[in-house]
Chains A and B, each alone.
Chain A
Amino acid sequence: MRNPFRLAILFLSLISLAGCGKGEPVVKIGFVAPLTGDQAAHGTDMLRGAQLAIEQARQAGEILPGYKVELSELDDSRSPAQAVAAAKRLAADADVLAVVGHLNSSCTKPASAIYYEARLLHLCPVSSNPEISRQGFDTFYRICPTDDLQGPAGARFAFQKLGAKKIFVLDDMTTYGRGLANEFLAAAKGLGVEILGHEGITQGEKDFTPVLTKIKGLNPDLIYFAGMFPEAALLLKQKQNLGLQGKFLGGDGLFEPALIELATPEASEGMYLTTLGGDIRNLPTAQQFVREFETRYGKLGAYSWYAYEATRIALEAVRRAGRKDRAAVLAAMKGMGSYSGILGVHAFDSKGDTSLRTIGVYTIQQGKFQFVEATEG
């Protein structure tokens, strides 16, 4: 064997032989969320929800006869560029039949185009920007209410329940944050609230005292922040340090226990946030999920149930398709009509959005999230 070329051929064939002997054939559900980076706490919650759904399905029996179901999890660290790279990897993997993913709207939006081109069923658990479903992709399904419901619900709560007449709006200049802030602004203006200003802050920044000092001078009744929990934690802490009065209301990106740890319970006391859906602990259909999740992982993370629900719907579409074929899975999803899950009955409209329209409101009391109310948007 002097010829290195022949040696290489032999080596390659050995590798491919090893590949052939590797157990039963698989089908995969793709999963993408930020598993590293400052928003990893959200992504980890989602991953646990998806894992629980997959394991329950395995225990219950075969989804697709002759195939083992696996979760193929990738990390986008909330970067749109990495989200697109992950989406391309999933699109290129023939074993992947459906994708559950992305946390941030700025990641979900470009990735959804790649799933559409690959004819890959895409279930979006929590990205709530309404523009995503307006792109006209028939591969896209979303199981959470959108920000054109969440923004107005927040504005109504601020005006009617908290009595806020003068509001300052901040956002994090992302697809999600800017979109939600604009929905909130439009609704608040319609209610007759005086908007003292609207400013953007940069994700990953640490010092927000200049803009908070400006807000202090305007003395608003309420500060609305459309963004994610790491920046919200800093805003709350610096607001407290500056002695800035006024209530604080945010969106669902703040629904994460890490917020209270990073901001301290003291600085986050009495803040409010809106969430995509009502109180999970009061939903009869979700009780089994809550129990199983808590016995397995301890703490119930805020986005876990959306990822759980999305993964279950993906598995149901694969089961109904009955064969390992992306087009058949898509057709099965279209034919499903409605799906009765732990969050309620989802009837998907022509854009792929769910019929669930409940927006919840939570507050933080003594270092814990407390449910306040739920409204139908």
Chain B
Amino acid sequence: MILLQQILNGLTIGAVYALIALGYTMVYGILQMINFAHGEVFMIGAYVGMTVLLMAGPGSGGVLWLTAAMAAAAVACCLLGLMMERVAYRPLRAAPKLSVLITAIGLSFFLQNAVMLGYGAQDRYVPETLSVRHWGGAGGAVVTPMQGVIFAVSFLLMLGLQGMVYGTKLGRSMRAVAQDPLAARLMGIPVDRVIATTFAIGSALAGVGGVLFGVHYSTINFHDGYLTGLKAFTAAVLGGIGNLPGAMLGGLLLGLMEGLGAGYVSAQWKNVVAFAVLILVLLFRPHGLLGERLAERA
């Protein structure tokens, strides 16, 4: 029963990591850059969700308001992603990779401090939306309704994304740009627009992840994006950065390992487990679990 409960806990946070990891991996796949401000997009999604749920009033809410909160966060983060790409990254398209990386870190600080000034530096309470406390399941393990929502929403979004990337024209353009931006441009693919769309989709997923995280853990803070973002990045590397199913698998695995490590080894080693995974993967399997060795670009 304890093991089952630990697995459920691990998969819950793992599903959130997976949603954020998708954004890292999509942007990396197309631009070979790591958007370190992505964790902040996730955090801002949580704040947008909280603002919507506060409008519902304390003690009320329900599935409808939760859906509204996720939709609002998705839209807001989508716009934020577009803006980040246009203002901070597009002007640096031809610049060395290090400049882009440092810009991303600067953007991350900027967003954190902007939220701190807007919402205050203290922890904020995210109102509860679902009235049922928890369901007792098989063998004494319990599942909260919010955990159910997290599983359902994240798997639907992941399936949707997979379908979009492999089944639509936009998805085909994204894969083309990822393979070779120059050739894609020669074939008439609007490369800049595809890149902007990638940022928008990745950010919207992170925004929804933020709402799920905020409601599940019930408090949020302006620096929550930092650690969670780093762990989602670890998940993306674990699965093979640039690889969509890899990001999902990496997120779930990381959540699971962290939960089991904290539960069976020691709670104070929780973050050590997560980042030891990052180091080991980089040492022994730098392309991740599902990543393929890509030919170096000329």
A binding-site residues for B, Cβ under 8 Å: 36-38, 40-41, 77, 170, 173, 199-202, 204-211, 213-214, 216-217, 230, 233-234, 237-238, 240-243, 258, 261-264
Contact of B218 among A173, A216, A264 (CB under 8 A): A264
Bound state CA distance, A173 and B123, in angstroms? 20
| Structural contact, B136 and A36, CB atoms closer than 8 A | no
Q: Enumerate chain A residues within 8 angstroms of B116, measured Cβ to Cβ.
A: 36
Give CA–CA (A258, B125) in the complex, Å.
9
Choose among A202, A240, A262 the residue that contacts B219 (Cβ–Cβ < 8 A). A262
**Contact at A210–B6, with CB atoms within 8 Å?**
yes
* Docked CA distance A7–B123 (Å): 50
- Of all chain B residues, the one with the shortest Cβ separation from A201 is B267
Residues of B210-266 at the interface with A, using a CB-CB cut-off of 8 Å, are: 213, 217-219, 221, 223-224, 227-228, 258-264, 266
A202 to B218 CA separation, bound complex (whole angstroms): 17
Return chain B residues, CB-CB under 8 Å to A240. 133
What residue in chain A is nearest B147 (Cβ atoms)? A241
B2 adjacent to A234 (CB under 8 Å): no
B116 CB → nearest A CB, Å: 7
Given contacts A210-B9, A211-B262, A214-B2, contact A243 B219 (CB under 8 A): no
* Cross-interface CB contact of A205 among B5, B9, B227, B264, cutoff 8 Å: B227
Q: Which 7 A-B pairs have the closest CB atoms?
A: A210-B262, A211-B267, A200-B268, A36-B121, A217-B2, A210-B263, A209-B9
* Contact in complex: A233, B268 (CB < 8 Å): no
Using Cβ atoms and an 8 Å threshold, which residues of chain B touch A237?
Answer: 217-218
**Interface size of B as a range:** 35 or more
B271 contacts partner chain A, Cβ-Cβ < 8 Å: yes
Residues of B contacting A201 in the complex (Cβ-Cβ under 8 angstroms): 267-268
- Chain B positions within 8 Å of A, measured between CB atoms, are 1-2, 5-6, 9-10, 12-13, 116, 120-123, 125, 128, 133-134, 136, 142, 144, 213, 217-219, 221, 223-224, 227-228, 258-264, 266-268, 270-271
Residues of the A chain whose Cβ atoms lie less than 8 Å from the Cβ of B228:
206
A37 touches B133 (CB 8 A): no
Minimum Cβ distance to chain A for residue B129 (Å): 13
Classify the secondary structure of B's interface with A. helix
- The one of B128, B144, B259 in contact with A210, judged by C-beta atoms closer than 8 angstroms, is B259
Checking A173, A213, A234, A238 against B268 with a beta-carbon cut-off of 8 angstroms, the contacting residue is A173
A205 to B274, CA, bound (A): 13
The closest CB in chain A to the CB of B127 belongs to: A264
CB distance from B224 to the nearest CB of A (A): 7
A240 vs chain B, min Cβ distance (A): 7
Shortest CB-to-CB span from A241 to chain B, Å, is: 5
Q: List 11 A-B contacts (CB under 8 A).
A: A77-B121, A201-B267, A201-B268, A206-B217, A210-B6, A213-B263, A217-B2, A230-B219, A230-B221, A242-B134, A262-B123
Q: Which residues from A are CB-within-8-Å of B13?
A: 207
Is there an interface contact between A210 and B218, defined as CB atoms closer than 8 Å? no
Residue of B nearest to A39 (CB): B122
Residues of A within 8 A of B1 (CB): 217
* Cα–Cα, bound, A324→B183 (Å): 76
Residues of B with C-beta under 8 A to A38: 121-123, 221
Known: A210-B258, A213-B2, A213-B9. A199 touches B266 (CB 8 A): yes
- Interface contacts beyond A211-B263, A243-B142: sample of 17 additional A-B pairs, CB < 8 Å, sorted by A: A38-B122, A40-B120, A200-B268, A205-B271, A206-B228, A207-B13, A211-B267, A213-B6, A214-B267, A216-B5, A234-B218, A242-B5, A242-B134, A242-B142, A243-B133, A262-B125, A264-B125
Given the complex, which residues of A lie within 8 Å of B133, measured CB to CB? 240-241, 243
A210 touches B134 (CB 8 A): no
Residues in A with CB closer than 8 Å to B120 are: 40
> In the complex, what distance in Å separates the CA atom of A36 from the CA atom of B221?
11
Establish whether residues B218 and A262, one from each chain, have CB atoms under 8 Å apart when the complex forms. Answer: yes
Q: Are A214 and B264 in contact (CB under 8 A)?
A: yes
B residues in contact with A208, CB < 8 Å? 267
Please report the C-alpha to C-alpha distance between residue A230 and residue B123 in the assembled complex, in whole angstroms. 7
